[in-house]
Structure 1
Amino acid sequence: MEAIVSEHAPAAIGPYSQGIVTENLLFTSGQLPIDPRSGEMPQGIAAQAEQSCINVGNLLDEAGSGYERVVKTTCYLADMNDFPQFNEVYARYFTSNPARSCVAVKELPTGALCEIECIAVRDA
């Protein structure tokens, strides 16, 4: 197994890796909508969904994969009423329509409104 670390995604805020590669699969940790340069989180669900998608993309790039190679995502929302706006942003990035679960949770770390994790194929 190989840990994936990218300075273009938020650093882990606990005892975990940003991503792990095993053979030809990448498993990302949930990507919060934190701008890795500033450490700040944008306001509003659309801006947060955008940042979470960008952070996932940066981990995909670091691991030698891409959005089109994502096979499964799990999306977490702090409020299911945000689903339409979240979905609109998500659809611009995950155009290959990977399998997906989307659930509402009571709370996300750092007060985020969303978080995205994925499983993707990459060249072994």
Structure 2
Amino acid sequence: MVAIFMSGSAPAIAKDKSHDGKNNITFFDSGKFTGLPFSDGVRVGNILFLSGEIASERQPDNTFKVIPGGIKAETKKIFENIRASLNEKGYEMKDIVKCTVMLADMSEWAEFNEVYQTFFSQPYPARSAFGVSGLALGAKAEVECIAAK
């Protein structure tokens, strides 16, 4: 089965793939990550696993570039991208149950949290955060989420 989900951005193509005939497993491909070896997200039953999101934008030459503005601007863009990705797949921010946060500089954790809190309210999703030695395209942050409904 192939379905197309429309939102304000590019359509997400969903491909169902049942490994044992019982599980409802759907792989999503909006085309955003064309040429890269991963899906936008995978839904298993009612649980949605999103790939890590950085604050990048596609350039005219089809490459990606991290937006300027520092950790706060990147964090805002990351969660705007996550919201759009969730909406394409029939989920909302309130459906997020877990976030994994990777920061290139842990001294920016407080600034990240300041923006993070504008996208969530209590009860907050479970979360892990850790510092890394580098992220794709030199990004300051990357976030992956799990949503359920």
Normalising by structure 2, report the TM-score.
Answer: 0.74
Secondary structure at the aligned position of 2:145 is classed as strand
Q: Matched residues in 2 for 1:111 and 1:33: separation?
A: 10
* Residue of 30, 35, 38 corresponding to 1:6: 30
Structure 1 unmatched runs, 5+: none
Q: Matched residues in 2 for 1:101 and 1:13: separation?
A: 29
Looking at secondary structure, tell me which structure has more strand per residue.
Answer: 2
Q: 1:27 and 2:52 equivalent?
A: no
Larger Rg: 2
- May I ask how many residue pairs the two structures share in their alignment? 120
Pairs within 5 Å for 1:1-124: 1-6=25-30, 10-11=32-33, 14-36=36-58, 39-43=64-68, 44-96=70-122, 97-122=124-149
Q: Matched residues in 2 for 1:71 and 1:51: separation?
A: 20
Structure 2 unmatched runs, 5+: 1-24
Deviation beyond 3 Å, 4+ runs, structure 1: 36-40
Q: Matched residues in 2 for 1:12 and 1:99: separation?
A: 30
1:42 offset after TM fit, Å? Answer: 1.7
Normalising by structure 1, report the TM-score.
Answer: 0.88
Q: CA RMSD in A?
A: 1.8
Kept in 2: contact 1:35–1:51 (CA 8 A): no
Looking at secondary structure, tell me which structure has more helix per residue.
Answer: 1
